[in-house]
Structure 1
């Protein structure tokens, strides 16, 4: 078992849709225009006045433990590193798009600059390895993103997981390491 097992919690009740996380991701990872590693999708308003609500949904790699993108990669470019982070080795990637087609979360793309598959990596190589949080989690003004080691019972993420959380498309058996606190604002919908 890995020494660390990184994961993230997205609290949709705290998200205000400001896109700071997406902008920070783009800047930190030099993401080309017209593609993204992270996006906050906004739906709404929903409900009836005065009980209107906006829904915010994080769209990025969910760091599956049973990652379909890894198992279909013919070159080994898609892999899970020692800390449980799903990565892409752009030097090994041949751009076949198998991983893109296999991802049930539509979280991968071909980087138009490198020609290789690309996606969120929790800023592993440029931040997490140095003991820093991913760019998105470090910039979030409302604390909607909590990142940490799922193997550490004292980590902030483990404490936060005591809330009622869900995993995206959990029924697929991919075992994502992105947890979501469902939106409770606006009452029953």
Structure 2
């Protein structure tokens, strides 16, 4: 049986750069709205125009993840029970940051407080995990974010 790969898809034409997704993400995972600890990162050029001024970094849930290959401790894995979401055993992370450097999408961030990487896990193990609607999808006022599945 093949497990479908689940991943976020963001429509930049709809996104207004309001940062609601970032606040919801950090709240779901960390219990506080802290933009620096959000697993989705929205960057906006203050002199540009929406949507051309937006850059959004988030995990693409790659089929062959460079982050997973680069990790010397082998702590990044595909959680087949949760739609092949790539996850991190953070308590076993050695802090080398190889995964962050390896990601071609700049989708992983370093958690300064806990000294390990963070990445989108589609809200696995949060109160928002319900197969279809991670916190960012639920909160987006423009409906710019959705979860897709691919066999």
The TM-score range, normalised by the shorter chain, is 0.7 to 0.9
Choose which of 58, 61, 66 in structure 2 pairs with 1:60. 58
2:79 to 49, 56, 81: 81
Alignment correspondent of 2:38? 36
Q: Which has the higher helix share?
A: 2
Match of 1:13 in 2: 13
- Conserved 8 A contact 2:128-2:134: yes
- Deviations along 1:16-56, one digit per CA (max 9) or x if unpaired, are 1111111111111117564432122223655xxxxx65422
Alpha-carbon displacement from aligned partner over 1:51-107 (angstroms, at most 9, x marks no partner): x65422321222211111101212221112212211111122111111112112222
The separation in 2 between residues aligned to 1:57 and 1:112, in whole angstroms, is 22
Q: Residues 110 and 43 from structure 1, CA distance in 2 versus in 1: closer, same or farther, beyond 3 angstroms?
A: closer
Question: Residues 53, 75 of structure 1: CA spacing in aligned structure 2 closer, same or farther, 3 A cutoff?
Answer: closer
Segment drifting more, 102-111 vs 10-19: 102-111
Question: Which residues of structure 2 form unaligned runs of 5+?
Answer: none
Q: How many Å apart are 1:116 and its aligned residue?
A: 1.9
Over the aligned positions, Cα root-mean-square deviation in angstroms equals 2.3
Structure 1's 54 and 128: CA in aligned 2 closer, same or farther, altered over 3 A? Answer: closer
Bigger radius of gyration: 1
Stretches of structure 1 lacking an aligned partner (at least 5 in a row): 47-51, 152-189
Distance 1:125 1:68, change over 3 A: same
Equivalent pair of 1:22/1:40 in contact (CA under 8 Å): yes
Question: TM-score, normalised on structure 1?
Answer: 0.67
Name 1:114's counterpart in structure 2.
114
Could you tell me how far apart the structure 2 residues matched to 1:45 and 1:144 are?
22
2-side partners of 1:64 and 1:73: how far apart? 15
1:109–1:8 distance in 2 versus 1, CA, 3 Å: closer
Q: Distance in 2 between matches of 1:54 and 1:44?
A: 12
CA contact (8 A) 1:40 1:57 kept: yes
Q: Across the two proteins, how many residue pairs are aligned to each other?
A: 146
